[in-house]
Amino acid sequence: MRRWGSSARVALASVALAALLLLFVFPTRSLIAQRHEISRARSDLSVIESENERLAEEAARLATPAEIERIAREQFHMVRPGEKAFAVVAEPSATATTAAEATPPTTGG
C-alpha cells in the first residue's frame, strides 16, 4: 500500500475545507442576511401599522358633522342659510404706493 504524499494531503485538506465552507459558512451568511431583512421588514411593518391607525382615527374624526362644518366654514367660507358672511379687509398702509403713483407723469411735447 502506498502512502499519500504531502501534496495529496494538502489537496485533500483544501477540498475538505472548501466543502465545509460551502456547507456551513455560505448558508450561514445567507441566513444572517435573511434574518436582518426580516427584522427590517418587521420594523417597517410596525411603522406602517401605526400610520394606518393614525389615518383611521383621522378619517373617523373627519366624518363627523361638526368637523365637516368646521372645514366648510374655515376653508371654503361657507355659511348656513340665513347667516351673513363678512370679510375683514385690512386698510392699506400709508406708505404703500401703486405703480401709477410711483411713475412721474410725462408731458407731451
Residues 6+ apart with CB under 8 A from 87: 77
How many Å apart are CA 16 and CA 85, to the nearest integer?
Answer: 89
List Cα–Cα distances, 27 to 14, 19, 23, 49, in angstroms. Answer: 19, 12, 7, 32
Q: How far apart are CA 32 and CA 24, in angstroms?
A: 12
Mean pLDDT of 3-16: 84
pLDDT single digits (tens) 32-88? 999 999 999 999 999 999 999 999 999 999 999 999 999 999 999 899 999 988 888
pLDDT of residue 25: 75
